Structure 1
Amino acid sequence: MDQYPRRKPNSGSRRRRRSGQVGEGEGGQPKRLPYDDAPFVVHHLDRKMTSADFVLGTRVRMAVLRDQHPEEYRELLLELSQQEQQPA
């Protein structure tokens, strides 16, 4: 069984698609996301997913980061904890 969490069936509805955000490529196929532009991809997913699905995806990505890139995971947690300690 997969070690990463999965969305439960029927655990929320999808947001309605918004036109013009990624657009269509040739033959009516969606354009490919620029995977080398991580901020763009994450913002695109945030617009297309429910909050619950986006959070679940973030948890999965964090688990992958922890398992496959432990040093980067530690650095990210340190950065986030330092941001939380700063006054708003």
Structure 2
Amino acid sequence: MTSATQAVDTSVVTELLSRLTAQTVQPEMLNSKDAGALVSVSRDTIMRAANAGELPAYTIGARNTRFRREDVIAWATRTAYDPAAAA
């Protein structure tokens, strides 16, 4: 076969497409709800940490706050969970 008339192996294309669709694309910037879900805390906990300066936050417009995925994970790993304080 010449390069101009090569047949495309559909099984290869199908395999590549299934691999691409199986991968989930995770956004770099998260809203407070998604940030909380990432580390299993409430949206309010995320916002309290941001307002206290414990978690870096980025304001977009007047009311939209976003958080970098790495910052949320780093905050969660250095923040100790105290069940007594949660009660």
Q: Same fold (TM over 0.5)?
A: no
By relative contact order (CA 8 Å, sep 6+), the higher-ranking structure is 1
Larger Rg computed on CA atoms: 2
**Structure ranking higher in strand proportion:** 2
User: How would you bin the TM-score normalised by the shorter chain?
Assistant: under 0.3
Normalised TM-score (structure 1): 0.24
